[in-house]
Every structure is written in C-alpha cells, then in structure tokens.
Amino acid sequence: MRYIWQHIQIIVETYNGSLPLSHFLKDYFKQYPKLGSRDRRVLSEMAYCWYRCAKGIQVTESTETESSFEEKMRSCLQLCGNKAVVQVLYKGEEATITMLFDRTTIFPYPIQLSDGLTKEKWLDSLLLQPDLFIRIRKEKDKIISILNQAGIPFRFVTSDCLSLPNGAKIDTLLPAETYVVQDASSQATGTFFKPNKNEKWYDCCSGAGGKSLLLKDLEPSVQLTVTDVRASILNNLKERFKLYGHKAPVAIVTDVCDLVNLNKALGKQQFDHIICDAPCSGSGTWARTPEQMYFFDPATIVRFNNLQKSIAVNVSRYLKPGGRLIYITCSVFREENEAVVAAIIRDTGLTLLNQQLIDGTEIHADCMFLATLQK
C-alpha cells in the first residue's frame, strides 16, 4: 500500500482549502485514472480524517520520526473510528492511537457558542461523519420496503425523517419525487414555519431551495417569492420544484444587502412571513466539511455578523404588521446567532418570540440556530 501513502501525503501537502475538499479530491483523482474505486474511497476517508484530527495530534520529541506523518494519520483514523480503512491499510493488524491527542487544539479559538451546546460536546461531534438524512414526502411504505429489500439500515428520527448510513446508495433505489435529502436539523426548522393557506412568503437567501421546498410541502397554496445572488442556484431551485410537483416560485436575482436593488426587485410588496436562512460560517455543519474548520479564519466571523445584520434588517422592511421573520443559520457561534438577533431587535423594533440552537449532535446530524421575530 505504499502508493496510497504517497498519494495521501501529496493530497495533504497540496490542498489549501480554497475548494471544497470533495471537489479537490474529484479533480485529483482525474489526474490518476489508475486509482481504483477502493483506492479513491480509502484516500478520501484518510483526507477527511486528517482534517478532523490532525491539529489535535501532539507530535512530541519522542514521536518525531521520519514516519511521523504515517503515525499521525494512523492516529487520526483511529480517533475517527474508521475501521474499514484501518482494515485495508493494516490488513487486520490492530491499529492503536500512537500519539497524544488534545481535542481543544482542533479549534483553539476563544469563540463563544450559542446556548444549549458545550464546546466539548461540539468538538467531539466533529470527529465523526454525520448520518445521511432524508425527508419522506410521500409513499412512505414503498420507501421502507425498498430500503428493507436492499438491506440498507435506517431509523426513524421523526415520522417523516429517516437516518441512514452516510454514503448509502439510495439515489438509484428510491423514486426521486418521494423524498428529499435534508439534514434532520434542517428539517426541524419547518416546525416553526406554521404556514396558513394562500399566505405570501419570501425566502430571501433561498439557495437551492431546501427551506422553500419544506415550506411548500407543508402548505402548497403558499405564494412564494425567492431571491438569491446566483442565477444558477435559482435555476437549480426551479428544477427541484418541478421534480417535486410544485409550481415554480417567483425567483429574482438580487443582492439583499443592497437596499436600492432590493427595492427595485420587490417594490412595495409586503409578505406575511419571511425566511432568512443567512450566510454563515457553517460551523454547525463542519462534521461534514472538516476542511472548513481546519482552514478557518476567525476574522470571517465579523464579516458574517455584519452581512447577517444587513440582510435581516433590509428584508424586515417587507414584513406585514404581525408578520414573522424566521432567522436561521447553520452556525453554532453566538456572534452569528444571539448577537445578530439582538442587533435585529435593536435596529428594527421586531419582537423576539423564540430562539434556540437545534442540537443535532446526539443523532449524528448538523446543528442549526433559529429565531422567530414578529413585526
């Protein structure tokens, strides 16, 4: 397996975080077509384990040897519980953690977390790949039957939310229109929407439409407007709406941070409720994307905080009296969550109805923050 060690060392030495790790690995593997599917899987797992743990491995004078990289990787694999890769690399030999590990050094920054999650619990959750979650839209019995026949284990998180092993090959098994791949915590935000028939809703940072689709599945009669700065992502959203049998929403490309452009885009419209799934550090999803933690720059928190406040304050102008602004992030950082909510209240006069961190760590899901504010 010497060639595996050569490749993983090149990957770690050349990857700089400028691309998502999954994209980088895909491009890297294209350069080496002789790497088989097992080789690519092993290298991918090794890379992800490295970015989860490497900063916490303590290389001491006694462990600093020519093979210290391999020993460090071995410890990373063991800490992440990656038995399958260990089996391939060590051919049944019992792998042990050969170096000291300090979890506090994988994220050494003194950044406060939101209420409801300790730093220790969060750091522990980052060592493990979260599960795959799907939201069942229809034909539940058929989905369960297909999964059972295929031998894919699953468990119910809620009546419509299933947890499956990460990497489960369901896209070729389940009818596409019957389910949505969506993290359990993201699905949980829908319990706060509570839409009524024919209401006007606005999703101001819609992305590919995960929250918008959840809203429309809850109440198909909702009149929906969505905006995003990326035309391509809105096209993706429209295709997803078509797949799931929903009429495409009014989709507008605009920067909601620019109040002049936002006024041009929305005019004098007023909405019953607004979903503001704001751009953020993504720290609540770093168990899926550990490279973002590894290359994290604390200075970005200030930028996100200012961006989030600007977006929320601007779009709140389009709320009807009595309407709600549903502020959401996939961050665990107080500066992006409670601190932003306090600023929104200060600058808009909205009333806080509730706020909470949705802690997904117990079920191997993401963490999200949600606050509901009323005009």
Domain boundaries 188-374, corresponding CATH code = 3.40.50.150
The average pLDDT across 14-25 equals 96
Q: What is the pLDDT of residue 169?
A: 92
Per-residue confidence (pLDDT) for residue 92, from 0 to 100: 59
Residue 223: partners with Cβ closer than 8 Å, 6 or more residues away: 198, 199, 200, 201
Write down the pLDDT at residue 123: 96
In terms of pLDDT, which residue wins out, 344 or 100? 344
Contacts of 46 (CB under 8 A, 6+ apart): 4, 8, 73, 76, 77, 85
* Comparison of pLDDT for 263 and 86, the residue scoring more: 263
How far, in Å, CA of 230 to CA of 35, rounded?
Answer: 35
**Structural domain 132-180, CATH architecture:** 2-Layer Sandwich (3.30)
Does 334 have pLDDT greater than 80?
yes
Whether pLDDT at 248 is above 80: yes
- pLDDT at residue 87, as a whole number: 72
What's the pTM?
A: 0.93
**3 state SS of 243:** helix
19-33, 68-82, 360-374: least confident range: 68-82
Q: Is 59 exposed, middle or buried (0-12, 13-18, 19+ CB in 10 A)?
A: middle
User: What span, in angstroms and rounded, lies between the C-alpha atoms of 130 and 183?
Assistant: 9
Q: What is the pLDDT of residue 251?
A: 96
Q: Which amino acid is at 84?
A: A
Ranges in the chain annotated CATH 3.40.50.150: 188-374
Average pLDDT, stretch 176-180? 96
Q: Residue 61 pLDDT more than 70?
A: no
| H helix runs in 224-289, sequence order | 231-243, 259-266
Which of the four pLDDT bands, split at 50, 70 and 90, describes residue 143? very high
Measured distance CA(180)–CA(101) in Å, rounded:
38
Is it the case that residue 63 has pLDDT exceeding 60?
A: no
pLDDT band, very low/low/confident/very high, at 225 (cuts 50, 70, 90):
very high
Angle at 343 between CA 208 and CA 195, to 5 degrees: 45
Q: Tokens 């397996």 map to which residue?
A: 1
3-state secondary structure of 342: helix
pLDDT of residue 7 exceeding 90, the answer is yes
Q: Which residues of the chain form CATH 3.30.70?
A: 132-180
H or E element, residue 371: strand 368-374
pLDDT at 75: 87
What's the whole-number mean pLDDT along residues 136-156? Answer: 97
The stretch 99-106 carries a mean pLDDT of 88
Residue 60 has pLDDT above 80, yes or no: no
Counting residues of the chain whose pLDDT is more than 70, the rounded percentage is 96
Q: What is the pLDDT of residue 175?
A: 96
